[in-house]
Structure 1
Amino acid sequence: MAHASAGDDGPLTPEERAHLSALRSATSLADLVDATGLDDPHEAYFAAKRRHRDLRGRRLAADPPPSDAPGAPTTVDGVAYRVHGVTHADTDAERAHVRGIASTAADEGAAVYCEQGIRSLYLGDVPVACAMDDYRRALRECARLDAESHLSALEHDGVDGLVADLTRVSDRFREATFALVEAGGEVYGDRFRRALGDLATAFTRGHEGAALADDYESFRLTRAAAEDPDRLPALVAYYDRAFLPQPVEREWLRAHDPELELVTHARNERMADYAVFHADADVDAVHLVVGAAHVPGVEYYLRRHRDGDRPLDGFAPL
């Protein structure tokens, strides 16, 4: 969700701009092999992640996103789509922030679409807000996989209950570890905190986590943004730096855990499709409220719709 225009690469050299462009236009791991000059797709993926984070970070640092607004809208068939990233940590500060988005949208005659689970958390009594079907669709696709499900034991309270359970179960150990790092930082300082955070990240996540930016830095930024929504743009910008293009991240994750791919990055595709499919002829603006980690992916697929590269043939809501 960069504030600068897509063609402005800030303080990068021509060679660095070309390299960043190659990384951001990749659609497969094979493309990363070409972009990095490494023969092994595994090595190319991690090298590309490091290089993208550096180059994209420097480009964004030259023109940081504003503290009070999402990125520039993506216009598809005359409708402007704005994607708002949140932590869905259920804090009073974030609740007021999300309800402010919905209130502004209502005043402007715009529509609001929410990642499934967010509407019930923050906007259950707001008529203008609509929950999408991203989790429901992900669970349906998981059920079709020829593999043992990680989710079957949790499917007992409906989709919204499952969302809550997934968050608690998958994050408990990682968040406890990172919380200890934060506490140590209060005593030994920020340099210690970051060094130990990097070590904790390497210890607590596998190959799957690399495709999710599931690390100490995202944890730290998420905690800060949950209490102060003015920090949400910094969190979204972090994910912008951390993620390679959606087809690449999805190919990587699908190879390591296809079910996890369906309940994470694949939902970005579904949310973009859902919003465009439901575009109302009387509405010229749509606000999408999604988890901060989903913003780069949802915007990626909205741009594909904008460019005419993503037809909705066969789309049907659940």
Structure 2
Amino acid sequence: MGGEDKKDETINLDPKTEAVFKKKGYELQKKLAEGAFGQVYKAKNTKTGDKVAVKVMNLDKVGEKFKEKFLPREMAALIGVKHENTCELYDIIKANHRLYIFMEFCGGGDISGYVQKNGALSEEKTCFWFTQTAQALSFMHQNLHMAHRDIKIDNILLTENQMAKLTDFGFAKICWDEKKDKMELSKTYCGTEPYECPQIVARVPYNAFAADVWAMGVVLFCMLQNKFPFHWNDKKKFIKEQKDKKYIEERLGTKLSQDCRDLHIQCWTEDEGKRITSQDLLNHPWITRKGK
């Protein structure tokens, strides 16, 4: 987790929880952000002196479906995902109807905030961060058979030395049937609307790995253009634009390199079976030439 201090807010801990934190060496400090499922605080590991981010979830405020389905999934995902371009999990503590998830602190904020502050990025800078994110995603897909299912620029954090780290695995799911040795279609329509692939928009069972790649195409566009590629507020228009190759070509404009335009188009192939995979993303000419 990461970001700059937004509010000088602290959290009140009961004595028992405070004692557990003290024993483990954690000291909560200021609030960094607040989302639908909880708050994120800056903290310190008093034993090492390292900065830490803490996601705090009030279990009384989340629905039973979330606690039964998504919460165990996020925990499993966080524990299983260990890659240099994902946020590392340090500890999970459940106390007094709250869940505290201690994670690596990324002091550079997220890419969404970076783009809002600095404007659209160059192809080379975009390629640097996009490649790191794609490496994390490919690791999830290939090594863990796990889809992220909420890829967006808000979920790509930057360290203080400007390295990209994929985070927020609340919708992550293993989408592989080990007995049948094949991919399972997803029927949970989750994620963030502007990043949804046509299958999710249409509410039909979908390939979650391919859905992640479609979302990566949207991430790529957002980093380079500082806007969304499709008009997602109007569902009919949204679906029409996603299927319209001419619209996509015009929307990409003429300033991007041909390889960069081609990578967008391969991510936005309507047919899931023909869409580029996360592994093949890393072998695309635009990536191998480092956005040049």
Question: Which category of TM-score, normalised to the shorter sequence, fits these structures?
Answer: under 0.3
For CA contacts below 8 A with separation 6 or more, give which structure has more relative contact order: 1
Q: What TM-score do the two structures reach when normalised by structure 2?
A: 0.28
More helix by share: 1
Q: What TM-score do the two structures reach when normalised by structure 1?
A: 0.26
More strand by share: 2
